[in-house]
């Protein structure tokens, strides 16, 4: 009887099952639940890949656990609204490989999207808003974020913590109640053509031995420094096409302290920030390379290149 019921559920949800994997459709406006289908798939050990297309307004905290090659997508702008503002994320991915989430408006939850437990989460074309804490949070996990809008969340727009490694391509992180992006505790982040604007504190902050690489991105009008590098963190601003622009922030453009390091290569405009100089080295032994090449001011002092030193003999 139990197996018959499971088979019936899969039959009701399934669109097709092919050599390329199984495909399902969830109609939230008809009372169907994403979690019910996910749980059934796990119990039946349905082989990967799994593609689930969602329609309608879904009021549930979605949980993808112990799964491999799952795609959750919408072609109609479906909404996932987290039901717990203090405990559960609107979408949680745990101990799962190559999970793709595409196209949704994700609203509310303790976090909007939580990717944890050594998972790989690729997020594309999402709007994530209204979370109590972080809009998107990676813990000991990684992935690619492409073309997302992360806005109006109660803490950071994006946090990468505890050795996470993520790539951002395109998209905007704006109007969040703390920093736009936080990179913390040995995490790594690469940005390419990303806009970070109007966040209450730093546009991007890196702490505790974390690394940041920024290509052709714009960091403007944030409530503190555009980029803050603290406690042995390092940042690299590089040009592939247009270079980076860091301007109009309430703090410095780039602020370094506590054994942190910044490198500037190619064309970078770090100017017009409210706190001067635009690139500031605090006295706790930070270091830079190329700060004098940016279109802005700096108090950072760099040693002369070996070939430029005068022979003092």
Mean pLDDT confidence for 147-154:
98
Q: What is the pLDDT of residue 23?
A: 95
285 confidence band (pLDDT: 50, 70, 90): confident
Cα–Cα distance for residue pair 133/178, rounded to 1 Å: 10
Any idea which of 61-65, 274-278, 295-299 has the lowest mean pLDDT? 295-299
Mean pLDDT confidence for 191-196:
98
CB 240 within 8 A of CB 265: no
For the chain, domains (ranges, CATH) are: 1-111 (no CATH), 156-298 (2.160.20.10)
Look at residue 177 and tell me whether its pLDDT is greater than 80.
yes
Three-state secondary-structure class, residue 28: helix
Name the residue with higher pLDDT: 25 or 292. Answer: 25
Mean pLDDT confidence for 74-99:
95
Question: Which residues lie across from 227 on neighbouring strands?
Answer: 204, 254
Mean pLDDT confidence for 184-210:
98
pTM for the model stands at 0.90
pLDDT digits (tens, 9 = 90+) for 10-29: 555 554 555 468 999 999 99
Cα–Cα distance for residue pair 41/143, rounded to 1 Å: 23
For the chain, percent of residues with pLDDT exceeding 70: 90
Pairing of strands 227-229, 254-256: parallel
- Cα dihedral sign, 299-303-307-312: positive
Tokens of 98: 């190559």
CB 131 within 8 A of CB 154: yes
Q: What is the pLDDT of residue 13?
A: 55
CB 136 within 8 A of CB 158: yes
**For all residues of the chain together, what is the average pLDDT?**
91
Q: What is the pLDDT of residue 8?
A: 47
For the chain, percent of residues with pLDDT exceeding 90: 81
5 confidence band (pLDDT: 50, 70, 90): very low
Bond before 49 cis per omega within 30 degrees = yes
Q: What is the pLDDT of residue 172?
A: 98
pLDDT digits (tens, 9 = 90+) for 219-278: 999 999 999 999 999 999 999 999 999 999 999 999 999 999 999 999 999 999 999 999
Look at residue 311 and tell me whether its pLDDT is greater than 50.
no
Q: What is the pLDDT of residue 86?
A: 86
């Amino acid at each position: 009887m139990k197996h018959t019921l499971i088979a019936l559920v899969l039959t009701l949800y399934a669109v097709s099952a092919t050599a390329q994997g199984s495909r399902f459709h969830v109609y939230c406006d008809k009372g169907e639940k994403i979690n019910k289908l996910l749980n059934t798939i796990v119990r039946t050990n349905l082989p990967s890949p799994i593609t689930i297309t969602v329609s309608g307004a879904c009021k549930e905290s979605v949980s993808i656990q112990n799964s491999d090659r799952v795609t959750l997508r919408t072609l109609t702008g479906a909404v996932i609204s987290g039901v717990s503002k203090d405990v559960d994320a609107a979408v949680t991915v745990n101990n799962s490989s190559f999970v793709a989430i595409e196209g949704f408006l994700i609203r509310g939850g303790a976090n909007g999207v939580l990717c944890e437990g050594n998972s790989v989460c690729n997020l594309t074309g999402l709007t994530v808003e209204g979370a109590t804490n972080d809009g998107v949070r990676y813990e000991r996990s990684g992935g690619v974020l492409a073309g997302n809008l992360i806005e109006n969340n109660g803490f950071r727009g994006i946090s990468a913590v505890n050795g996470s490694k993520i790539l951002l391509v395109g998209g905007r992180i704006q109007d969040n109640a703390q920093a736009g992006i936080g990179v913390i505790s040995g995490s790594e982040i690469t940005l390419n053509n990303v806009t970070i604007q109007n966040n209450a504190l730093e546009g991007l902050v890196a702490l505790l031995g974390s690394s940041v690489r920024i290509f052709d991105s714009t960091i403007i009008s944030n409530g503190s420094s555009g980029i803050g590098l603290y406690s042995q963190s390092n940042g690299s601003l590089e040009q592939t096409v247009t270079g980076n622009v860091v301007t109009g922030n309430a703090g410095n453009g780039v602020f370094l302290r506590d054994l942190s390091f910044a490198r500037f290569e190619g064309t970078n405009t770090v100017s017009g920030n409210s706190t001067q100089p635009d690139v500031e080295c605090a006295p706790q032994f930070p270091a830079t390379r190329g700060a004098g090449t940016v279109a802005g001011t700096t108090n950072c002092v760099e040693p002369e290149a070996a070939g430029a030193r005068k022979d003092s003999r």
